[in-house]
């Protein structure tokens, strides 16, 4: 690496997440619709020996140790770089986090390792960085035709959840998948009506472990979200809005009532630049 590279690591949101089975190795089979937001972390790589520096509002939630996914991504790619991670997203919160950061490091290095999913199940979809259907345990990623430009409010109650613990708390692992052929999701009404029939199967077990998630969902609904749901294994929840002004107003209202929660209004991210 000869030049300085800066890459956004956009927040990932699972608009729907169906848990459809479990492999012999314990990993769960998923069928998920994934989008990316304007909000996110940022990684900056400069030439030099491999190192990691953490900045940003959530830097204190992480250690710059060798297990950090940014460093693991660079090692998997067999490359050196001095990495700065600006951590703007809450840690361990169901919106990509470490996987988004690892994918951004691989993009900045222009590296294409054979099995990026070994870094984390969400790394392949974060590498794609565009709206996708994600299947298998995360390694099957199919980009979707353009989705309606919805606006999101992300709400995190300031408490993390352990992903394995949430999966372990599932009562059913054989839930129905999404339809084989997805309908046209290009208008807000079509997307919202489709999503209403979808689920996040991890929502109920996550609420059982961390009941405040139900309060986040209720706050989004009370603030006018057309649909409120948890992302990933939680605890971050999202509300969907057709109008960016409604999303901004909802974020202000929820933030004023719950000053200890992390609340942002965000649009969908543009596709990352190639190369
Ligand atoms: O791959 P990642 O580090 O994101 O996964 C964290 C944990 O979540 C895994 O160790 C596994 O327990 C669980 N998981 C799962 N099925 C998936 C993805 C993750 O059971 N498809």
pLDDT tens per residue, the chain (275 residues)? 779 999 999 999 999 999 999 999 999 999 999 999 999 999 999 999 999 999 999 999 898 899 999 999 999 999 999 999 999 999 999 999 999 999 999 999 999 999 999 999 999 999 999 999 999 999 999 999 989 999 999 999 999 899 999 999 999 999 999 999 999 999 999 999 999 999 999 999 999 999 999 999 999 999 999 999 999 999 999 999 999 999 999 999 999 999 999 999 999 876 555 44
Q: How many domains does the chain have?
A: 1
pLDDT at 269: 79
C-alpha 83 to ligand 1 mean position (Å): 25
pLDDT at 272: 52
Rounded to whole angstroms, the Cα distance separating 121 from 170 reads 18
233 labelled ligand-binding: no
Q: ipTM, 2 decimals?
A: 0.95
Closest approach atom of ligand 1 to CA 30: 21
Burial of 236 (0-12, 13-18, 19+ CB in 10 A): buried
Asked if residue 249 belongs to a domain, the reply is: yes
Asked if residue 116 belongs to a domain, the reply is: yes
Asked if residue 252 belongs to a domain, the reply is: yes
Phi, psi values for residue 78, rounded to 5°: 70, 35
Asked if residue 271 belongs to a domain, the reply is: no
C-alpha 255 to ligand 1 mean position (Å): 31
Q: Give the containing element (helix H, strand E) for 141.
A: strand 140-143
Question: E strands, the chain, where?
Answer: 5-22, 28-46, 51-55, 82-86, 132-136, 140-143, 151-156, 227-230, 237-241, 262-266
Asked if residue 251 belongs to a domain, the reply is: yes
DSSP 109: T
Q: How many CB atoms lie within 10 A of CB 274?
A: 6
**Domain hosting residue 62, numbered range:** 5-266
Rounded to whole angstroms, the Cα distance separating 23 from 244 reads 40
Asked if residue 201 belongs to a domain, the reply is: yes
CB 203 within 8 A of CB 14: no
**Helix 97-108 × helix 69-76 angle, to 10°:** 40
Burial of 99 (0-12, 13-18, 19+ CB in 10 A): buried
Asked if residue 99 belongs to a domain, the reply is: yes
Residue 156's CATH number = 3.30.230.10
pLDDT at 275: 42
Closest among 275, 255, 195 to 230, alpha carbons compared? 195
Rg (the chain; Cα; Å): 18
**Helix 212-222 × helix 244-257 angle, to 10°:** 130
Does 122 qualify as catalytic in the annotation? Answer: yes
Instruction: Name the active-site residue from 31, 101, 122, 201.
Output: 122
Asked if residue 132 belongs to a domain, the reply is: yes
- Going from the C-alpha of 196 to that of each of 10, 193, 200, the distances in angstroms are 24, 5, 11
pLDDT at 253: 98
């Amino acid at each position: 690496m000869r030049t300085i590279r800066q890459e956004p690591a956009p927040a990932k949101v699972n608009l729907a997440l169906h848990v459809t089975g479990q492999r012999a190795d314990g990993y769960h089979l998923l069928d998920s619709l994934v989008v990316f937001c304007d909000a996110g972390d940022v990684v900056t790589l400069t030439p030099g020996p491999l190192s990691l520096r953490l900045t940003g509002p959530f830097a204190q939630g992480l250690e710059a140790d060798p297990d950090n996914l940014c460093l693991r991504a660079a090692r998997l790619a067999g490359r050196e770089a001095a990495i700065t991670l600006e951590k703007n997203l809450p840690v361990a919160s169901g919106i990509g986090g470490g996987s988004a950061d690892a994918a951004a490091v691989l993009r900045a290095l222009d590296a294409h390792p054979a099995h990026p999913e070994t870094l984390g199940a969400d790394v392949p979809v974060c590498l794609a960085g565009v709206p996708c259907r994600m299947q298998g345990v995360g390694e099957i990623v199919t980009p979707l035709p353009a989705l309606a430009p919805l606006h999101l409010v992300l709400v995190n109650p300031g408490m993390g959840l352990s992903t394995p613990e949430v999966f372990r708390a599932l009562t059913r692992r054989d839930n129905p998948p999404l339809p084989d052929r997805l309908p046209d999701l290009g208008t807000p009404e079509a997307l919202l009506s489709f999503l209403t029939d979808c689920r996040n199967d991890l929502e109920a077990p996550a609420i059982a472990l961390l009941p405040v998630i139900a309060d986040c969902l209720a706050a989004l609904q009370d603030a006018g979200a057309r649909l409120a749901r948890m992302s990933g294994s939680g605890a971050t929840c999202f509300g969907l809005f057709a109008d960016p002004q409604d999303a901004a107003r909802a974020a202000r209202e929820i933030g004023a009532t719950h000053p200890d929660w992390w609340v942002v209004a965000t649009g969908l991210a543009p596709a990352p630049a190639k190369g």
